[in-house]
Amino acid sequence: MKKNPELLAYCGLYCGACSFKAAYDKNLREHIMTLPSQYDEYKDKPLQFCPGCRMDPGGADCEIRNCARDKSVDHCGVCDDFVCDKIADFCSDGVPHHSEILSNLYTVREIGEDAWLERQRSKWTCECGATISWYLRKCVQCDKSIH
């Protein structure tokens, strides 16, 4: 049985560490406030639910998600065209957390989805049990330094 397979985005991001998801799920704006400046427009808006790309039937237009769905693959790491230009461009688009997707996808291929999801859950959970998101420097619950 898979452990929250919807948290593995098609592109290889771990949705459990998403600043937007963590902010909404925990009702803690701190997750949004630590995002890089290209996300400033979201810092004053109400927190909005994001089900993640696997669970959202419509949502934002993402060419990676659309491609994976068209090809009926669980994630880009199992696609016959991996590594394609879409993934390579996304990985190198300058958004810091996007740079980890190739490593994530190779690891998923190596150890499997369940083991990868468990590894990610552990990586993005503070010792106190709080959710850690991509850009936090300190835990929002216990104030422990992160990374």
> Is residue 128 within 8 Å of 141, Cβ to Cβ?
yes
Positive or negative, the Cα torsion across 41, 47, 52, 56?
A: negative
Contacts for 6 with CB less than 8 Å, ≥ 6 apart: 15, 51, 52, 54, 55
Residue 1 binned pLDDT confidence (cut-offs 50, 70, 90): very low
Q: What is the pLDDT of residue 54?
A: 79
Q: 131: helix, coil or strand?
A: strand
pLDDT, one tens digit per residue, over 98-135 is 999 999 999 999 999 999 999 999 999 999 999 999 99
For the chain, give the mean pLDDT.
90
Q: What is the pLDDT of residue 19?
A: 92
* Prediction pTM value: 0.88
pLDDT, one tens digit per residue, over 71-97 is 999 999 999 999 999 999 999 999 999
**89 — phi, psi (to 5°)?**
-65, -40
Of the two residues 53 and 89, the one the predictor is more confident about is 89
